[in-house]
Amino acid sequence: MDFLELVEKRYSQRRYTAQTVKQEDLDYILKCARMAPSAVNKQPWHIYVLQGEILKQMAPIYRRETFKEAPMCLVITGNHNESWRRYDEKDHCDIDIAIVTEHIVLAAAEKGVDTCWVCNFDVQACKNLLQLPAAEEPIVLIPMGYAPKETVVPEKKRKDIEQIVTYLT
Ligand SMILES: Cc1cc2nc3c(=O)[nH]c(=O)nc-3n(C[C@H](O)[C@H](O)[C@H](O)COP(=O)(O)O)c2cc1C
């Protein structure tokens, strides 16, 4: 599978079976996460792997079927005390977390593990549940598992290359 095939294969899966993610696949995914680049190599991220009882407590934090069904959820946090700030004070934390997250979902797709980026969740409730310090922000949730057999993979709706690229000389 070349890179284009991999990025075409990954899609946001919002329904899951109860089948657990193989530990060897999770280990591979986390190794790929670790290799993500970050501004000034600060690596301001932490990845919490939630399963079992604590996963049930995530249900009110993102009120979707996804959380009731997915056997695992990663919470990816960014530490604003560790992330790089540019000369104009722009905090690069979100950028770094986006990169590590995309490594995770692409590595998962390679292994046939389904995922979905989730940012529209109750951040404060998540912080409380994980007892995170003030500077550590939960930025993305990634439910992880396997799609039910009957799943129809949605069509990728994307802008055309001409709409998103401008060649300048
Ligand atoms: C930063 C970000 C935040 C997202 N947040 C959510 C979310 O809260 N809930 C959700 O169902 N999907 C969420 N998505 C998934 C997008 O809706 C999805 O990636 C987009 O529609 C393209 O579809 P695809 O992932 O299947 O290619 C998010 C994606 C990104 C990149």
Ligand 1 pocket residue status of 122, Cβ below 6 Å: no
Ligand 1 geometric centre to CA of 157 (Å): 12
**What pLDDT is recorded for position 36?**
98
**What pLDDT is recorded for position 67?**
73
Ligand 1 geometric centre to CA of 23 (Å): 25
The 10s digit of each residue's pLDDT in 54-79 is 999 999 999 888 778 999 999 999 99
Q: Atom 28 of ligand 1 has which residue's CA nearest to it?
A: 117
Average confidence score pLDDT of the chain: 96
**What pLDDT is recorded for position 119?**
97
Q: How far apart are CA 35 and CA 94, in angstroms?
A: 17
Whether 47 has a pLDDT exceeding 80, the answer reads: yes
Question: Regarding the domain delimited by 3-164, which CATH topology (the fold level of the hierarchy) does it fall under?
Answer: NADH Oxidase (3.40.109)
**What pLDDT is recorded for position 70?**
95
Which atom of ligand 1 has the smallest separation from the CA of 121?
8
Stretch 132-156: mean pLDDT: 96
What tokens were used for 40?
A: 């000034």
**What pLDDT is recorded for position 91?**
98
**What pLDDT is recorded for position 98?**
98
Beta bridge partners of 115: 12, 144
Domain boundaries, the chain: 3-164
Q: Atom 1 of ligand 1 has which residue's CA nearest to it?
A: 119
* Distant-in-sequence, close-in-space partners of 111: CB < 8 Å, separation ≥ 6: 25, 28, 29
Whole-prediction pTM value?
0.97
